[in-house]
Amino acid sequence: MHAPSGRGVDSRNLTHMLREIREAPRVATRLLERGGANVRAIGTRLRRRNPVAVVIAARGSSDNAALYAKYLFETRLGAPVVLAAPSVLTLLEGRLRVRGTIVIGISQSGRSTDVVAFLAAARARGALTVAVTNSARSPLALTAHETILTHAGDERSVAATKTYLNQVIALAMLGSAWAGDRDLDREISAVPADQQRILAHEAQIARIAERYRYMDACIVAARGYDFATARELALKLMEACYVVALPLSSADLLHGPIALIEHDFPVFLIAPRGRTFPHLVDVAARLRARGAETAILSSERSILRLARIAIDVPAQAADAVAPPVYGVAAQLLAYYLARTKGINPDRPRGLRKVTRTL
């Protein structure tokens, strides 16, 4: 791997993945500016609808965004959220009763076959449907009653980067509008600046990635909203770095899988400040006692002192707005590890940009 120069790698070797990670603050700002009025209008309509439940269908990185939405909507709205198994309708011929619910389909391209089919079936059965996508003319957008565009621009990297981050921001905007939460609105507006602060520390993350050149397995843990980021980092480690990465809620980690952790076993712990932070400090102390190779991503010195490897995240994002900020750090870590391992993250084996399944 070329040593970082300034903010990142030599520009002659710039990949789509890195270029698009670096676009995060700009496209987040574009989403806030161009998408705000539409999202507020949809949020108002959903509030009037007062659904009995929300069902979300997604795959891959979009499914991690869906998990984020589950935590957000259940916390801020009190509405039960179900993460759909599309095959219940597309393969198993199930007859879901979705009348009175909101069904959301999330897909960067809007061409995920089973997500489109699930949304179409839900609409036919009386649900109000919403698409969250980067493509206004996609099958998903054309299927839904309402469409939220993520305004991320063209994405050429096979591994979703800026599109995933903007999905999370769009869902945060929807939750804020739906709940009428002005405090969350203000917090969301600060996300692009926090993302830029992460990018200013890109060289530090690149150096840390070199330590894990020979890593072939690890656990990635977080709790609450940030469990989505743990799953996203684990996915990126698998698809871009060919590392077996097990994503876990830090609570579930303590319910059995901690037995896996021997001396020097790698654990990545995502620990922003916020309501889950005291729990994460306790988890970090337990990992330290077991001699784990614990790499902690946090802005807080009190937990970074418990790390074998401290990944300082120079941002104050917490709770619901931490995922699109810490997501930038996670993507950079996976990118630089791929390069350290000699892997071109733009050409992950066996993968294409759009995966179609039923």
Distance CA 81, CA 48 (A): 18
Q: What is the pLDDT of residue 355?
A: 53
* Helix%, strand%, coil% for the chain, nearest 5: 50, 15, 35
Burial class (CB in 10 A: 0-12, 13-18, 19+), 92: exposed
Q: What is the pLDDT of residue 358?
A: 58
Question: Which domains does the chain possess?
Answer: 17-189 (3.40.50.10490), 193-340 (3.40.50.10490)
Q: What is the pLDDT of residue 5?
A: 38
Measuring CA to CA, which residue among 7, 27, 20 is closest to residue 331? Answer: 20
Reduce the DSSP state of residue 91 to 3 states and report it: coil
Write out pLDDT tens, residues 127-174. 999 999 999 999 999 999 999 999 999 988 888 999 999 999 999 999
Distance CA 293, CA 22 (A): 28
Write out pLDDT tens, residues 189-206. 999 999 999 999 999 999
pLDDT classification of 350: cutoffs 50, 70, 90: low
Write out pLDDT tens, residues 167-185. 999 999 999 999 999 999 9
In terms of residues, how long is the chain? 358
pLDDT classification of 352: cutoffs 50, 70, 90: low
pTM: 0.93
